[in-house]
Amino acid sequence: MFKKLFTFYLSCFVAASVLAQNPISPMGVYIADPSSRVGLDGKLYIYGSLDVQPGRYCSRDYHVLSSSDLKDWTLHRNSFSWSTDLYAPDMMYRDGTYYLYYDTPRGEEFVATSQSPAGPFRDGVKIEGPTQIDPNIFIDDDGQAYYFWGQFSAKGAKMNPDMKTLDLSTVVDGVVTEKDHYFHEGSYVVKRGKYYYFIFADISRNNRPTCLGYAMSTSPLGPYEYKGVIIDNAGCNPGNWNNHGSIVRFGDNWYVLYHRSTHGSRQMRKACIEPITFNEDGTINEVEMTSQGAAGPLNAYYRIDGAKACLMDGHVRIRRTEGNSEVEELGGIHGGDWAAWKYLDFSKGARKISLKVKSNLGGTIEIRTGSSDGRILGKVTVPSGSDWTTLSAKIKKVKGVKALYLTFDGVRDPADSAPKDEPQSGGAPEWAAYAASLAAGNAPGGNPPAVQQGNPPQGGNFQRREPAPEPKDEYELFSIDSFTFSSK
C-alpha cells in the first residue's frame, strides 16, 4: 500500500482574471454571516464574523468588504477588535454616525460607533435587553428603527432615537419561529414595496440550517408568513452545517449574500453573492450556488482557481495550501469524488486543457459538462510519484456557457466513506454550548478574558495563527490549484 499522499495541482500560465467571483472573501480570509449595506458613497459594504481555524466559530476581529461594482472587492482589515469572540454583526448608518452591532458567545449584545463605514469602530457599550445572538437593525420609511435578534424564536423591538437602547415595552417574542417558519438564527429584515422580508437561516431541509429562507409581512414586527428558500448551500463542503446572510438592492438589481464553509468543517466560512429575482406577488425565486456570483460566467481561457468550485461530492474540500495561508486549493480528493464550477464561458470553442500536477499515487481526471455523469470532454492520466509537472490534454470541442465538472478516480479507500457530520436538533443552541465551554475554560484556543466595555484594542488579531495541517490521509488523490482551457 502506498503510504505517501497524492497531491494534485492544476495551474495555468496565463494572466489571471481581474474579476473577483465567488467566493468574494479573498483567499486565506474567512468572512461569514454577511450583512449587506449600501453606503453613502454608493459602495456595497459587507459586515460579517471572521473564522480563523477549523473547529472554532468566529474570532475576536471583524474585517469589512466593500465594492463599487460587485466584481472587485476591497478588504478593510481590523475594522473592530474585542476581548472575546465576536459572532455575527450588523451595521446601520444614521445622522452622521455608523453604528456597529455585535454579539458574543455569552449571548451579550453591544454597539460601537465610527465616522466611517469601514471603521475603526470604538466605544463599545452593552445593549440592555437582548440575551441571545445575531443582532439586526432595520429603519422603516417613517424613520423608526427596529432591533431583531435571537435563535429558534426571533425577537424584535423598537429602538430609541439614540440607536443604542431599546424600547423594552415593545418587545415581541416569536416574530418568526422554528415551529412555524423553520427559523434557526440569523435575522435580517428589509423592505421592498409594501412588504417586509424577514431573512434567516432556515432549517427546513435535512434538519440542518443550510438554507436562507424568508417570510413576508406588511408590518415590521409581523405577523410573518413563511414563503420558502432563497438559496441552499448544501453541497459546498462535506462538513457544512449552517448558512447566514442578507438580501440587498444594489443599483437596479437585488442580490443575496450568504456563506459556504470550507476545510471539511462547519467553520472557515466564506461570503458569496448571487443575483435574485422577484415574482409579481413579491415572492423570491430560489437560486443556485455558482462560481460566477455577480460577475458573469468565468472566462475559460483565464486562470480558474480550484477554490472557486461551488459544488463538490465526497471528501473533497476547499482548504489553505500547506505552507501558505494566503493560497487555497481544492484538496482531500478521493477516488469517486467530483467538483463543479458554474459557469464557464468557452466562447467559440475550447479544445485543450492545461494542468500543473504534483502526484504521489497517480490517478485520472475526467473533464465533463452539465453534471458529474454528463458529457465527457476528455481524460487526463496523472503519473504517480511526479514532482511539479505540466500536463496538457486535447478535449472534444466545447463552446458556449457550460457548467464544468471534474470527476476523479484512482486508488480507493476500502471504507469508501466521506467525512460525516451528522445533523443535530433540539437541545441548547450552539452559541449557548460554546458559551458554557468558555466559562469552563475549555473552548478551542483557551478561555478569553472578560468582555470589556470601553475602547477595545484596535488593529490586532488576538487569534492570528497558522492553521494546523490536516491529518495525513493515505487515500487522498488530488489537490487542485487552478486550470485553464485553450482553443488549440
Angle at 354 between CA 386 and CA 385, to 5 degrees: 10
Strand partners, 37: 45
Closest Cα to residue 270, out of 7, 65, 8, 475? Answer: 65
- pLDDT, the chain, mean: 86
The tens digit of pLDDT for each residue in 261-282 reads: 999 999 999 999 999 999 999 9
| DSSP string of 108-132, one letter each residue | -EEEEEESSTT---EEEEEPSS--S
Q: Which residue has the higher pLDDT, 416 or 225?
A: 225
| DSSP string of 419-468, one letter each residue | -------SSS-HHHHHHHHHHTT-STT-PPPPP-SSPPP-S--TT--PPP
The tens digit of pLDDT for each residue in 79-121 reads: 999 989 999 999 999 999 999 999 998 889 999 999 999 999 9
Phi, psi at 61, each rounded to 5°: -135, 155
Question: CATH number of the domain at 1-19+296-449+467-488, out of 3.30.420.40, 3.40.50.300, 2.60.120.260, 3.30.390.10?
Answer: 2.60.120.260
Grid cell in block for residue 19: 474579476
224 burial level (CB within 10 Å; 0-12, 13-18, 19+): buried
| Strongest mean pLDDT among 102-111, 150-159, 362-371 | 150-159
* Residue 81 near residue 60, CB atoms below 8 Å: yes
The pLDDT assigned to 433 comes to 53
92 burial level (CB within 10 Å; 0-12, 13-18, 19+): buried
Q: pLDDT band for position 479 (50/70/90)?
A: confident
Q: Which residue has the higher pLDDT, 119 or 428?
A: 119
Q: pLDDT band for position 436 (50/70/90)?
A: low
Percent of the chain with pLDDT over 70: 83
Is a pLDDT exceeding 50 seen at residue 451? no
Is a pLDDT exceeding 90 seen at residue 312? yes
Q: How far apart are CA 14 and CA 301, in angstroms?
A: 8
Question: Within the chain, which residue ranges are assigned CATH 2.60.120.260?
Answer: 1-19+296-449+467-488
Helix (H, G, I), strand (E, B) or coil at 307: helix
Sheet holding 59-67, edge to edge: 30-38, 44-51, 59-67, 74-86
Q: How far apart are CA 58 and CA 51, in angstroms?
A: 4
Strand partners, 289: none
Is a pLDDT exceeding 90 seen at residue 400? yes
Q: pLDDT band for position 472 (50/70/90)?
A: confident
* Residue 288 near residue 22, CB atoms below 8 Å: no
Q: How far apart are CA 278 and CA 219, in angstroms?
A: 19
Over its C-alpha atoms, the chain yields an Rg (Å, rounded) of 23
* Residue 226 near residue 259, CB atoms below 8 Å: no
For the 30-276 domain, the top CATH level (class) is mainly beta
Q: pLDDT band for position 48 (50/70/90)?
A: very high
Phi, psi at 350, each rounded to 5°: -110, 145
- Which residue in this structure is represented by grid cell 490536516? 470
The sign of the dihedral angle between the CA atoms of 222, 227, 228, 230 is negative
- Parallel/antiparallel/unpaired status of strands 298-299 and 338-345: parallel
| pTM of the full structure | 0.87
Helix (H, G, I), strand (E, B) or coil at 180: helix
Is a pLDDT exceeding 70 seen at residue 452? no
Is a pLDDT exceeding 60 seen at residue 247? yes
